[in-house]
Amino acid sequence: MLIVSEIIEKLKDILSQDGKNGKVFDKDVAGALDLSQVNFATMKNRGKIPFSNILDFCAKKKISINWLLYNQNPGSLVDSTDKYWIRYYPEVSVSAGGGAYESDDSYESFEVPPYFINMLGGKDNLKNIDAINVIGDSMEPTLNSDNIIFIDKTKIDVSRDGIYAFTTNHGLFVKRIQRRVDGQLDVISDNKDYPIQILPKEDVSIVGKVVSSFGMIY
């Protein structure tokens, strides 16, 4: 990946090609990324890349994020693309617990194949999708260790049975959840070697519903 100063220079090139008259300054880049000049200067000094703002910028300009960050496909300044991206958190693992969404900077851009878009709710819903890893065998054979699961963060109503990512005081998990008549939740591992747990609804914070997955089937 390019360093921050190199990315800023590429952004200035894009803005200059975009019809801006005269020299392009850091304040122009800050404005294009919807950042204040103070925040932009702080990020620049710390060598911190504002991924979320850059992703939004690239989406608006139809510029390949891979070209901007990794110098891939350098033949065109505006490597126009209809590719779609979601946030993938490679350091986050669910099922065995202990994972967490640590910060906005912990994600990578994950390219979604066009045929996969509808499975995730359509292109307009991709902003609501996060991808994280599964570890452990508690959800086999439905989900296997090292699978990547796709979570729709808008689907948090557990009145609809399904597989959800959720947090408790013990960490981050992915399990099948069914709401009981008394309002408590059956937390079910598809691997029958693990017993069903019954938890009060208030002890469970739903991250989102698992809508699809990538990985090996055993």
Report whether 211 contacts 150 (CB < 8 A): yes
Can you give the pLDDT at residue 153? 93
- Alpha-carbon distance of 179 to 187, in angstroms, equals 9
Last residue within a domain, chosen from 70, 95, 127: 70
Considering its fold, how many domains does the chain have in total?
2
Do 99 and 134 fall into the same domain? Answer: yes
Do 63 and 114 fall into the same domain? Answer: no
Do 105 and 169 fall into the same domain? Answer: yes
Instruction: Give pTM, 2 decimals.
Output: 0.60
Per DSSP, what are the bridge partners of residue 188? 176
**155 occurs within a structural domain:** yes
Do 66 and 101 fall into the same domain? Answer: no
- Alpha-carbon distance of 33 to 53, in angstroms, equals 5
Can you give the pLDDT at residue 114? 77
Tokens standing for residue 26: 């850091």
Question: In what order do the strands lie in the sheet containing 171-179?
Answer: 108-112, 84-94, 129-134, 148-152, 205-214, 162-168, 171-179, 185-188, 197-199
Do 114 and 46 fall into the same domain? Answer: no
Domain that holds residue 157: 86-214
Do 208 and 156 fall into the same domain? Answer: yes
Measured in degrees and rounded to the nearest 5, phi and psi for residue 140 equal -70, 145
pLDDT along the chain (218 residues), means of 10: 81 77 84 89 83 80 75 49 72 60 63 82 89 89 88 92 91 92 94 93 94 74
Can you give the pLDDT at residue 21? 59
Report whether 172 contacts 164 (CB < 8 A): no
Do 194 and 128 fall into the same domain? Answer: yes
Q: What angle do CA 37, 52, 162 make, to 5 degrees?
A: 150
CB count in 10 Å sphere of residue 28:
16
**190 occurs within a structural domain:** yes
CATH number, domain containing residue 183:
2.10.109.10
Can you give the pLDDT at residue 54? 84
Do 162 and 96 fall into the same domain? Answer: yes
Find the helix packing angle between 37-46 and 4-17, rounded to 10°.
Answer: 140
The strand pair at 185-188 and 197-199 is best described as: antiparallel
Last residue within a domain, chosen from 46, 70, 94: 70
Do 94 and 59 fall into the same domain? Answer: no
Tokens standing for residue 65: 């994020």
**77 occurs within a structural domain:** no
